[in-house]
Structure 1
């Protein structure tokens, strides 16, 4: 194989690596993607796809296929030990999105979907390929990979993206610290068909005195998770069996049910880790290679795919030499604080769920029923776990030249825009619109696309344009808001070009 300079090498072909490869190819960047496993994931693993990730998939053009294969979970109900509902959340009423639900889609199907999308660009995953060494020079990386038959290939690549999970060989080779703790609670889980009389389109959680039990429905099965830290009927030194799981579930679950044959079982602890850096020169960490946390809230895979969505457009523009390479510094600046926030919130959700002392349980249940019933609190929670609340307001790339009572630079764009360039929405009553359009057409036509919106246009109202413009990033976040030619020129030169 000719040893030419490759623009990007992706290590790891889970949902994060596949998303990274798809986005780079969609931006017109050549890349290769390798994975040490001989085949794709065959089990459900990461299960829930949140609203913000579905919006990302809409931008990629694959959301309809995902919706056809998954199950829309419309809400969450939490019961106390007296089988009384403590919390009932209806996501449809809380999420301002075209996708106001959690899509229950097994990771195996997510990977199939992304693999097929990647194949449409003519790229396939190179399996049974492991990274053996890395060496960085000023202008490229020398990566050695071992193929299944034992041969060693040297790849010279401009950039390397580590999407290789919790046990990342990329992160280890860089000696980047992966700081955090392991929670002491133990859990068992099973994927199996569950038949009962309750809702099949909601996440159901039961606070049992012996530990939390949760059910996550799927199209033709259910994920059941049980905390067994203090369950004397569970012996961690003996392999988990279907009979053991069923016996524990029968003692825990308060509703009549029948459980079909298991498709997957696991016994696990919760790891919480955050890399102290996401970048080392020409190498980046994404997904579980950079952060891992409690499954509470189902945000792990989603956070990783959002890492990919954030980084790839920046990397593509740098590879094409259309922007200053310093743009890549904003990846860690924007994404690491979000991972830290997810880690903290999922940790708190887990600790609340596994409370044991009588006083703590009574207080938790009282607050859940009497305080968390507040719709504003419910919406804040829903916006957070869905990813819709995440923003980059404090990013170097976010700059407002005019005030907007609704949106700020760095906020999620309220509409889905299928454009891999920056998108400039210009109000028809913007006084400088002609000068602004000429600026784009003469100097930035490869970087920015534009639309003129009439006063009666729905987007004019959503973005509260009022004689102004709004510049939207390729990952569907607001970059800047302004009203004059000078505002836009200043932003493009100062934040992207210099």
Structure 2
């Protein structure tokens, strides 16, 4: 089999990348060692920035229909309600950030939605196909699978999780540590005798200790159960083990757990791959960085990896950009992943509140070599490298203009310079979200180049990002 890009892993990261490449006309093949999509709720929180990405990829309506907002916490003790607990600082949507607080969708449902969008665009996923090794040459990659088949591609992306076989085959170390010695059980269950209006919290009480949290999963009849155990405990993930854990930590009886749909055990860990690229192979998602689940950052950071890498692969393979553009993937995403690791550790230790800090709206690439700020005295809040906020300029909503695999020039009060026809131009009066000037917005929604009125985008920059031709992939 041959393809332009081989994506190993059909989780949220791999499926997001597959969608982005498919809409760019890049042939991509997703392979997944499991026989089906992941069945659990694990990464259930979609941050506001991820919702913006899903808006661009054409799945936001399905995501909204499938989920809901997070409920308020309810603390219990000895079968009595002690009171509500606010787990998030509220974030109100506004014109520049139309998606406020996180949106809850069980991971299995998010993946179903992404998979449906990928197949709608003509993309493919091969299930039951495990990649065990890779060979690289000057012009491509050859992947070996356990069933004896081989897949040739110009580039490959490891999105196969924290225990990535591809990362190990590349010999890339992952530096990290356990952030908590206490193992955890996570399970999707159905419960009788508990309301679905609250995220039910049962603080540690008794020798077997450990918090129990029962969160109603929006859009389903299920609850996600998370139970913590003392260090050194062998966690029983059988249905009986799940029922016993819930009954031991709450007023519920084992028989109140009418069904255990999925269960797993984990120990909170944080780790970062030493490299995000080896030749023609890239690491993304949990294959590149593993986070504590505190703060709901892991799935979201993986989606952002894919969103960053997708347009760059498209520019090299279809837009004529030089392959050196792909070096900026590690340059931009590894520092972000390192910062997010610090954030999730702070949330886990109770030092950082969930809310503005975890929304991922303020992440950007101000130090990137792709961020060119040429104005000497900017009069607005946006600089090159920043996320481009939403606004209505000249009667056009910017997020509508950004939607799609193209670049956009936002030109408040300025005459736009000559640009390739592929660049969409939005003109209008000054807007406080931007000020005046020229803002060339990348396909992933960040300002790449910013200039004063009358400035011209350098031909060298346009060529580098695939808008001026001349590259070889």
TM-score by length of structure 1 reads 0.81
Q: Residue 423 of structure 1 corresponds to which residue in structure 2?
A: 408
Note the C-alpha offset of 1:260.
Answer: 3.7
Note the C-alpha offset of 1:492.
Answer: 2.7
Note the C-alpha offset of 1:31.
Answer: 1.4
- Cα-Cα RMSD: 2.9
**Aligned pairs for 1:326-475 within 5 A:** 326-352=324-350, 381-402=354-375, 403-415=378-390, 416=399, 417-427=402-412, 429-430=413-414, 433=415, 436=417, 439-440=418-419, 444-446=420-422, 448-455=423-430, 460-464=431-435, 466=436, 468-475=437-444
Q: How many residues align?
A: 444
Assess if the C-alpha contact under 8 Å between 1:185 and 1:228 holds in 2.
Answer: yes
Structure 1 pair 246–330 and aligned structure 2 pair: CA distance change class (3 A): same
SS at match of 1:317: helix
Structure 1 pair 196–71 and aligned structure 2 pair: CA distance change class (3 A): farther
Note the C-alpha offset of 1:308.
Answer: 0.1
Rounded Cα–Cα distance in structure 2 between residues aligned with 1:56 and 1:204:
31
Note the C-alpha offset of 1:472.
Answer: 0.9
**Aligned pairs for 1:13-28 within 5 A:** 13-28=10-25
Rounded Cα–Cα distance in structure 1 between residues aligned with 2:36 and 2:240:
30
Rounded Cα–Cα distance in structure 1 between residues aligned with 2:242 and 2:128:
34
2:164 is aligned, of 128, 150, 168, to 168
Note the C-alpha offset of 1:383.
Answer: 2.4
Structure 1 pair 94–445 and aligned structure 2 pair: CA distance change class (3 A): closer
Note the C-alpha offset of 1:205.
Answer: 4.5
Rounded Cα–Cα distance in structure 2 between residues aligned with 1:255 and 1:83:
16
Q: Residue 55 of structure 1 corresponds to which residue in structure 2?
A: 52
Structure 1 pair 341–194 and aligned structure 2 pair: CA distance change class (3 A): farther
Assess if the C-alpha contact under 8 Å between 2:44 and 2:106 holds in 1.
Answer: yes
Note the C-alpha offset of 1:223.
Answer: 0.8
Instruction: Structure 1: state its 5+ residue gaps.
Output: 353-363, 365-376
SS at match of 1:189: strand
Residues 1:229 and 2:194 are matched in the alignment:
no
**Deviations, residues 248-298 of structure 1 (Å, cap 9, x unaligned):** 445544899954422223332123221000001111001111111211112
Assess if the C-alpha contact under 8 Å between 1:104 and 1:217 holds in 2.
Answer: no
Note the C-alpha offset of 1:475.
Answer: 0.5
Instruction: Structure 2: state its 5+ residue gaps.
Output: 391-398
Rounded Cα–Cα distance in structure 2 between residues aligned with 1:59 and 1:473:
12
Rounded Cα–Cα distance in structure 2 between residues aligned with 1:397 and 1:204:
46
Rounded Cα–Cα distance in structure 2 between residues aligned with 1:129 and 1:243:
32
**Deviations, residues 160-216 of structure 1 (Å, cap 9, x unaligned):** 11111122121111100111123311112332234567662x655554353333333
**Aligned pairs for 1:6-85 within 5 A:** 6-73=3-70, 77=73, 83=82, 85=84
Rounded Cα–Cα distance in structure 1 between residues aligned with 2:91 and 2:156:
40
Rounded Cα–Cα distance in structure 2 between residues aligned with 1:482 and 1:410:
13
Rounded Cα–Cα distance in structure 2 between residues aligned with 1:276 and 1:238:
31
**Deviations, residues 102-143 of structure 1 (Å, cap 9, x unaligned):** 222222211211111111122221122222432211222222
Structure 1 pair 395–80 and aligned structure 2 pair: CA distance change class (3 A): farther
Rounded Cα–Cα distance in structure 1 between residues aligned with 2:407 and 2:235:
56
**Deviations, residues 192-250 of structure 1 (Å, cap 9, x unaligned):** 234567662x65555435333333321311112121216xxxx9447345555445445
Residues 1:120 and 2:84 are matched in the alignment:
no
Structure 1 pair 400–308 and aligned structure 2 pair: CA distance change class (3 A): same
Note the C-alpha offset of 1:445.
Answer: 2.4
Rounded Cα–Cα distance in structure 1 between residues aligned with 2:457 and 2:260:
58
Rounded Cα–Cα distance in structure 2 between residues aligned with 1:344 and 1:205:
26
Moved more, 284-293 or 340-349: 340-349
TM-score by length of structure 2 reads 0.85
Residues 1:477 and 2:446 are matched in the alignment:
yes
Structure 1 pair 76–285 and aligned structure 2 pair: CA distance change class (3 A): farther
Q: Residue 394 of structure 2 corresponds to which residue in structure 1?
A: none
